[in-house]
Chain A
């Protein structure tokens, strides 16, 4: 249950001299890469037998932990990234994969990439968080922007299924599947390639739905926009679009067919009765 600080005295994670207390982190420990860290660990990154309590990259820390080809293999119940460099973490597959991931980098240049396993609860309020296609499932994903604006971006790659997502700022690029976008209040959601959002509720923000895979059920209102006009291929939606007052649904009827439309804004007096 010790807290181990990276001392930047070595590039080998597995070297005891690289850590405070002169001991390599073991299961249950908390690992901290401080803002002042100057050396990146490049070797000894396969720690797949270790299950940390927490892994912190401090706010402003500029080093790189792991790489796309050689990620840090470790489990950590809490993984928090506030750096302006990069961190690549590969979670071992196993029964204890449930983890909470926080990406709170001060700029979009801070990059955290998560690989493998699943059952994650994820919050991104700053920086760029990439969910690799090797991730099976995400239980909950919340994308927001701590300082407002678009300083937060989550990239959901193909193959990953997110059970529930919320977006209240920033940008979410969807190439995997989101079963339910429970709310979009501000920010931008781009559904790309063969990405899919099965059910979505938007009361603000913009959904740019350019994917080739149709959504099924959409409820919009409150100034939110669901925009299919970025596509140039036909799309058939067999479910329902339910648009409340203030909500917008933009589509080319020659390309997009929606089986069932409920235009509430019109029905209750904001326009002609259909």
Chain B
């Protein structure tokens, strides 16, 4: 249950005790990359038998942890990324995992692979979920100051069970269970699509997946099917007065849109 700080005094090796203030982190420990440290972690990255309590990169730490194709393999109940460097993290944690991302790095702050994650909250910075990652149960995408692009999330093919997005730019290539889009830009591609309910209250949702959408609600913002040339299977889409629905009827032959209030002359015609 110790807390140990990365110093990188002697090298970039995770597994070298001299690079830490309190030894190499072990099971149940808290590992912190402080803003005073400068060296990246480049070796000793296979720590798959270790389950940390918390792994933190502080605001101001600019070093990298791991590299593309050579991630840090470890478990941590809580992973908190606030530094500006790049973290390549392969989750080996066997139980509930929480990830919090608040990084000024909007390009490649956290690259995630490995075991499933219970909850990821992206406040600011870029999260890339690589192909084959086992999925995220709850994903929250928010913003700190700029609702348009503080948070950037891309998911290649993993399943997201529940998504809440209030800002940022997200792209999903795997299936999404229930999605609630209140702001930002959301795009779904791939073969699965939305398996539950899609609600758009704000922002723009681009539905490009070939997988179907059984039920959608557009209370505000825009649900746009026109950026895809795919023939899509879409059931009921309920469009409320402030919402906009864009689609090509030739490509959505099954759409049974229920256009709220447009039918009685209140609100803009989509």
A-side residues, CB < 8 A to B, are 54, 56, 78, 80, 100, 102, 104, 121, 123, 125, 140, 142, 144, 146, 164, 166, 168, 182-183, 185, 201, 203, 219, 221-222, 244-245, 262, 264, 267-269
Q: Which B residues are CB-close (under 8 A) to A262?
A: 98, 119
Shortest distance in angstroms between B266's beta carbon and chain A's nearest beta carbon? 6
Q: Does B182 contact A (CB under 8 A)?
A: yes
- Contact present for A245 and B199 (CB under 8 Å): no
Q: Are B202 and A268 in contact (CB under 8 A)?
A: no
Q: Which residues of B (83-102) have their CB < 8 Å from a CB of A?
A: 98, 100-102
Q: How far is the CA of A222 from the CA of B164 in the complex (A)?
A: 12
Q: Are A123 and B264 in contact (CB under 8 A)?
A: no
> A264–B220 Cα gap in the complex (Å)?
27
Residues of B within 8 A of A (CB): 59, 78, 80, 82, 98, 100-102, 119, 121, 123, 140, 142, 144, 164, 166, 180, 182, 197, 199, 201-202, 217, 219-220, 238, 240-242, 258, 260-261, 263-264, 266
User: Is the Cβ of A269 less than 8 Å from the Cβ of B82?
Assistant: yes
Cβ contacts under 8 Å, B142 to chain A: 221-222, 244-245
A268 contacts B82, C-beta separation under 8 Å: yes
Q: How far is the CA of A203 from the CA of B201 in the complex (A)?
A: 11
Bound Cα distance from A267 to B98, whole angstroms? 11
Residue of B102, B220, B240, B266 near A268 (CB, 8 A) is B102
Minimum Cβ distance to chain B for residue A266 (Å)? 10
Question: Is the beta-carbon distance between A78 and B217 smaller than 8 angstroms?
Answer: no
Question: Which residues on the B side are within 8 Å of A125 (C-beta)?
Answer: 241, 261, 266
User: Which A residues are in CB contact (< 8 Å) with B260?
Assistant: 100, 102, 121, 123, 142
Whether B201 lies near A267 (C-beta < 8 A) is no
Chosen A-B contacts, 11 in total, with CB atoms closer than 8 Å, are: A80-B264, A100-B260, A102-B261, A123-B260, A168-B219, A183-B201, A185-B201, A219-B164, A222-B142, A244-B142, A269-B82
- Determine if A56 and B264 form an interchain contact, defined as CB atoms under 8 angstroms apart: yes
A183, B82: Cβ atoms closer than 8 Å: no
Asked whether, in the complex, the Cβ of B201 is within 8 Å of the Cβ of A168, the reply is yes
* Chain A residues within 8 Å of B101, by CB: 268
Q: A80-B264, A104-B266, A183-B180 known; A268 and B80 CB under 8 Å?
A: yes
Contact A121/B238 with A166-B199, A166-B201, A182-B199 known, Cβ cut-off 8 Å? yes
- Considering the chains assembled together, what is the distance between the CA atoms of A144 and B182 in angstroms? 15
B100 engages A168 (CB within 8 Å): no
3 cross-chain pairs, A with B, having the tightest CB-CB distances, nearest first: A268-B100, A268-B102, A80-B264
Known: A102-B264, A125-B241, A244-B140. A267 touches B182 (CB 8 A): no
